[in-house]
Amino acid sequence: MRRLAAALLLALLPLAGRAEDLALVLGTGDYRTLPDVAGGADLAGATPALGAAGFRVLALRDATAEAVAPLLADLARAEADRLVVALAGRFVTDGTRTWWLAADAGAPTLLGVEARSVSVESLLAVLGRAPLRAVLLLGADPGAEAPLDPWLREGVGRVQVPEGVAVLVAPPEEAARLLADRLAEPGVALANLVGGPVRALGPLPEGAALLADAGGPEDDALWQATAASGTLGAYRDYLAAHPKGRHAAEARAAIAALLSEPGREARLAEEALAMTRDGRREVQRDLAALGFDPQGIDGVLGPASRRAITDWQQQNGFPQTSFLDREQRERLAAQAAREAAEQVAAEERRQAEAEAADRAAWEETGARGDEAGLRAYLARFPEGVYAGVATEGLAALDAANREVAQAQDIAAWDRARAADSTAALQGYLAASPQGRFVGAARARLDALAQEEAQARATEAARAGEAALALGAPTARVVEERLAALGLDPGPVEGTFDDATRGAIRAYQEDRGLPVTGFLDGETLARLLADTLGPPRAP
């Protein structure tokens, strides 16, 4: 017999017109072939409070599977604000599925248990479709024993509870007391019913009650939070808790206003994308890469991000809704990917040009292998392709010079080089004007002079940047601008590290500004102007 399962499958059909609140109560204690369950039938007589609360009650005592089937079909077709299903009697489970046995059920087996039983999972599927509130109360006897096959055991197994459905489990007599008294009491939170022999399967929302008060502090407090949120879901949740509350009319008016809002379809189209926070960060990164500043990559599409989306939509001929649909999201991602590819290609071209210049300089200077040419190459390309070769060449020339130099000249040069100071090197030149290391001494003097000048310039640039008094927020903006230009300032964290300095130097060199790696007024103004203005043509 499959009547019970077929009745529950009616829940998959479109729901009919609106109906009153519905309660289905099945209590069985007198089994025809199985051991009886003490107090199991009491549940069917514990329904007056539900009837007084406005529920249409369908109740049977010690019912057969054939008698239960039409009631299940009625439940499956119902659309109500509240649904209550209460079952007491004998339950069996295979560990993941649970069945309530009708009065005429025989010794259950795994492959035959559904013939005269009700699937708890199927009931939960129906209850999960209740628009506002649903409760499943199971009166199970933990001490009941019946002959079972090796695949089944007595009791309620693991149950996957749909969101919005409350599942309570208690011994049959306790379940009858709950149904007759506390469950239908207005304003009683379901969570307050749990304790002692009563337990909950799955979470119970704090404060949720089967029958809410028509008003009072709970109503007002929930309404204040609802009005502060102002979302469609919040207003619907309020009506779920207080369908006849003092603010119900305001909630329905607010829902109507939201449903008629301009641009609602665009907003819903973006919500249908179900973007995670990382997905929203990708949107912001794509906008920034294309020159539409979202003022942060935080995954929150606030006013600045919405303005950036609107500007992008205007430039691309889309309606300016500030919300992205699937086509626009894919177009934005494709444009950002193309921009990134163009930047990579530009960087590869720049590197190729730099390498070509490096090789040309080597051919003109260091390739001849003389000291002047090697030093000229290293002065221009200290980290060039041939820097290692040039350095080794100079070392070899130095070694050759040392072999032919006078011992006194060698000693004097070693002392001067060890000191590595301007005075020591000038002393060597004065003492050995014809020495073998005159060229090296003069080159080192020039290098020291350049290092001192560079140190002074760096210190001046550092002092100039310090005078700008940039805070961490401004520093993060600078790093974001550099990143938007593809200059890789490293992590955007409001502090300048070596990567940030390198990005600043690259920007200054590209814009023809003094290359220091530190910000001055002109560099900062140019950087902000470049990135705040319209995107440059490719």
SS (H, E, C) 306-321: HHHHHHHHHHCCCCCC
Write down the pLDDT at residue 130.
Answer: 62
What is each CA distance from 159 to 11, 64, 200, 359, in whole angstroms?
A: 19, 25, 11, 73
Cα–Cα distance, 133 to 8 (Å, whole number) = 19
Task: Calculate mean pLDDT across residues 293-317.
Answer: 93
The pLDDT score that the predictor gives to residue 283 is 95
- pLDDT score, position 25: 96
Residue 461 has pLDDT above 80, yes or no: yes
Query: Strand order of the sheet with strand 98-101?
Result: 117-119, 98-101, 91-93, 153-154
- The pTM (predicted TM-score) of the whole model is 0.42
Mean pLDDT of all residues in 257-275: 84
Q: Is the pLDDT of residue 57 over 50?
A: yes
**Cα angle 96-98-99, degrees, rounded to a multiple of 5:** 155
Candidate from 115-129, 146-160, 220-234 with smallest mean pLDDT: 220-234
Q: What is the mean pLDDT of residues 351-374?
A: 86
**pLDDT, position 246:** 76
- pLDDT interval class at 289 (50, 70, 90): very high
Asked whether the predicted pLDDT for residue 299 surpasses 70, the reply is yes
Q: What's the pLDDT band for 20 if we cut at 50, 70, 90?
A: low
Q: How many CA atoms lie within 13 A of 333 on its CB side?
A: 12
Calpha distance 443→370 (Å, rounded): 14
pLDDT for position 339: 92
By mean pLDDT, which of 1-15, 367-381, 511-525 is the weakest? 1-15
Mean pLDDT over residues 519-529, rounded? 88
* pLDDT exceeds 70 at position 215: no
pLDDT class of 51 with cuts at 50, 70, 90: confident
pLDDT confidence tier of residue 9, bands split at 50, 70 and 90: very low
Q: Above pLDDT 90, what percent of the chain?
A: 34
pLDDT given for residue 15 in this prediction: 34
Quick one: 246 exposed, middle or buried, by C-beta within 10 A (0-12, 13-18, 19+)?
A: middle
At residue 287, what is the residue type? L
pLDDT score, position 224: 85
Average pLDDT, the chain: 84
The confidence band for 88, taking pLDDT boundaries of 50, 70 and 90, is very high
Mean pLDDT, range 346-352, rounded to an integer? 90
What number is the average pLDDT over the span 317-323? 92
Q: What is the pLDDT of residue 278?
A: 94
Give the span between the Cα atoms of 280 and 305, in whole angstroms.
10
Q: What is the mean pLDDT of residues 61-79?
A: 90
What is the residue-wise DSSP string for 237-257? Answer: HHHHH-TTSTTHHHHHHHHHH
Confidence of residue 191 (pLDDT cuts 50, 70, 90): confident
pLDDT tens digits, 400-453: 777 766 778 888 888 888 988 899 888 888 988 888 788 998 898 898 888 888
Predicted confidence (pLDDT) at residue 4 exceeds the cutoff of 60: no
The whole-number pLDDT of residue 205 equals: 62
The domains of the chain, with CATH numbers, are: 3-201 (3.40.50), 217-261 (no CATH), 266-352 (no CATH), 405-453 (no CATH), 468-532 (1.10.101.10)
Distance CA 99, CA 297 (A): 51
With a pLDDT cut of 70, the percent of the chain lying above it is: 90
398 against 519, higher pLDDT: 519
pLDDT by residue (tens digit) across 218-259? 777 888 888 876 777 788 888 877 776 778 888 888 888 877
264 has a pLDDT exceeding 90: no
Q: Which residues, 6 or more positions from 280, have their beta carbon under 8 angstroms from its beta carbon?
A: 299, 300, 301
What is the token pair recorded at 16?
């009919």
Q: What pLDDT, on a 0 to 100 scale, did the predictor assign at position 334?
A: 96
